[in-house]
A and B are shown apart, each in its own frame.
Chain A
């Protein structure tokens, strides 16, 4: 495995996650979110949520699953089906995502692989520049 072969990882991830998908589909009650009764410290310390509807987007190139193993966002998303594993990588189903930001909080990637974007068209959606505060 050479460094410059990293681009092949997407293909192999698609292959290796095959059994995983099968197992999820067969799961007794499907996947359950990890029980988080108290938000992580980072969330407690944070400023209140901006008054905009948001949606999560996974930036695959920062995702730890690209080079190693991670599925923390999928495990912790409280909305069934909002985060899926597609070709080995997590991706957000925008229609189901409530924009709660849990996946952003918990993503342990060196550079957050989750981006919270304002959802244009939803009630309260603000201009993009508001997100940079």
Chain B
């Protein structure tokens, strides 16, 4: 049995069938198993296949896969046993990641809108169009990228904009997902990104999921925890959420709170820790200051005394918290008692539940604060850890600083010293970098969708590796309003037609994943590298190349910003022999490793905030390394698992135990924050009596542009639906599968209802997944943002449901 199970499992891992839709259809009739292309069968699994490593293209967990290539095609995927993150396991998406390349409608030629119709154009012409749009109005040009940009791609775009065009209007879609975690980390520790690592999941006694459906969103991480139980390990899982999810099914305690009740719960825990004297006095005295936003919301707030902190928490008695949050007082006691125990290790995780929140920075701060207050910090298993949704939200958006207010390595646009450092590293004249922040995502799109004569001062946006036409909130206002604005120009680099390319004026076909070299950085500060393994289809080309080609064209057309202090082109590439290679000429792009040059250039920025990266070649050997990666006396490079803790972080002073060496108060202390309970921005009323929450499902990744083209995943969850409580459905005479209209103040959407389905919203709540381009739930969502992070709240707004008839309309027709 033992032997067989292992063999079968290995076979399963090997045979991540990259069979197309035809094979699936053909096998429907019975036992005929789908056969991978190129004759890869169970009996002959390795015939002529070349294997190499790559991180999974999908989520922020950052599992490593082994990619099998034959005849210029990815033919097999298996979990990488050498990878610490996933140890050979994958989730259902990961097994099929290779098929993401082979949807039938890959974009293969540049297309330009001429007289309202999209027509094929040459790359030459396409690059020219982009460059001329930039030259025509350099200050009204913006780049909108993503946490799926590889690190070198984000770096090129960032340098092109900030150092080349003196323009800070560059944003990643991470503004919609991680911006609040960033402001949380910055305001508490003075430096971004988690102190802990996934190792905490192997050591914690208690895991608290704060609005975090890890079983679906980070499945391989969750299986790491669940697997501990199998080996006799005891780990208590507490799920705090606004609806029952797959993760709740595994939880020892499920605490259901009303939207924004999390703010009250965190304060309630702090209140009891202080009241019962169970907070960690020694830790707090040595390592913490207290802070709050006294008047306006700001990143660093004002200091407060411990006495003031106590006073501020006084109203948050368990009874009051119960009233605000809906979680019974004894459960608040239970949580506070756990935090009060020194003999337990507690790990908290969160993702979009905290970050997409009208008080997102506050709830991030409060979660860090209860960990600091109770000393559950800086030991394996004791960590407040935010998870990312995108594979390189940390690596590209946050570390490379592709946001409108960041410079690479954690520097700020508005800080004169930081600008001077960046100007020096980039060898551009002093004053080249603009001191004013660019527009954050919501503002950028609002300006783009506003007529020029009414203050809409963004005229061209170049979208790269993301799909704002589906993922922006309040789509009518922030995206679809572009229609009919003749002087606005939308450029989209992507691999498939999307909701965004629909409104594009110029579409550029991109290479994806293992069709190009790349580096990603996952949720636990792990930088991961891969090589190009197959050629992209048609004329699709690397995003980094696209940026370089446009930069070069701007240079040739005489834009002065594309030259450095010495009059040389901003981007120069020398091969190993020291010979300059004009990589902006596509046939020459792969004559050398452009990624390596860009990464080494970028790496120089990483040390100021102790986010030290190793040389490129170290990542080639490793299955990812977690920064700071520090060179040892013997020349080897050592990664850091636990930051700020002396036992593991080389930057902590000997004898300090814990040291917050980037403290915003410059005294090596972290900030414990008080933040009040604040109600949601839009609350249900008589006209719109339901809460509406949006999110993901296990089988689909974000806007579904890749996973909806993978037959197995498309078949598993073919279209979006709305989940509601059975009693609410009954009240409205709605049956399972009925078609309903969900309406908010911003739009309406017709969807089938799923009652008692995968997740179970409480009475008065609805849930809609956002993966389906035919059923855009973001027509309904609210664009209200956290005042500090400027990240929108996709998780709660007011909605109503009306029965629309027995048929679900045309959904499912794709």
Contact = CB atoms under 8 A, between A and B. Distances in A.
Interface stretch (B26-34, B174-182, B343-351): B26-34
Contacts of A45: 21-22, 25
A2 B16 CA distance: 20
Contact of B33 (A6, A67, A69, A111): A111
Given A37-B752, A38-B811, A23 B249 contact: yes
Contacts of A105: 28, 715
What range describes how many residues of B lie at the interface? Answer: 35 or more
A30 B31 contact: no
B801 to A, nearest CB: 15
Interface in B366-398: none
B653 interface: no
Contacts of B294: none
Given A1-B227, A27-B756, A42 B28 contact: yes
Contacts of A29: 726, 755-756
Nearest to B5: A7
B5 A6 contact: yes
B133 interface: no
A124 interface: no
B737 interface: yes
A108 B712 contact: yes
A123 interface: no
B15 A61 contact: no
Interface residues of A, number: 68
Contacts of A31: 756
Contacts of B33: 111-112
A104 B226 CA distance: 27
Contacts of A54: 30
Contacts of B1: 7
Contact of A35 (B224, B246, B251, B721): B721
Contacts, number: 211
A116 interface: yes
B757 A16 contact: no
Contacts of A35: 721, 736-738, 752-754, 808
A115 B215 CA distance: 26
B715 A106 contact: yes
Contacts of B714: 40-41
A101 B8 CA distance: 24
A110 B716 contact: no
B808 A42 contact: no
B6 A4 contact: yes
Contact of A2 (B12, B87, B95): B87
B77 to A, nearest CB: 8
B226 A12 contact: yes
Contact of A16 (B250, B699, B713, B753): B250
A64 interface: yes
Contact of A1 (B8, B30, B224, B755): B224
Contacts of A16: 226, 229-230, 250
13 contacts: A19-B252, A27-B756, A29-B756, A35-B808, A37-B812, A43-B25, A46-B28, A47-B28, A61-B5, A67-B90, A69-B92, A108-B715, A133-B30
Interface of B: 1-2, 4-6, 8-12, 15-17, 21-22, 24-34, 81, 87-92, 95-96, 215-216, 219-220, 222-224, 226-227, 229-231, 244, 246, 248-252, 698-699, 711-718, 721, 725-727, 736-738, 752-758, 760, 807-808, 811-814
Closest 5 CB pairs of A and B: A12-B230, A35-B737, A38-B812, A61-B8, A131-B30
Given A7-B5, A110-B15, 18 more contacts: A3-B87, A3-B88, A15-B230, A23-B244, A34-B717, A34-B757, A37-B737, A38-B718, A39-B812, A41-B714, A42-B715, A61-B5, A62-B12, A67-B9, A68-B89, A69-B219, A105-B28, A110-B712
Interface of A: 1-13, 15-17, 19-20, 23, 27-43, 45-47, 49-50, 54, 61-62, 64, 66-70, 72, 75, 101, 104-112, 115-117, 131-133
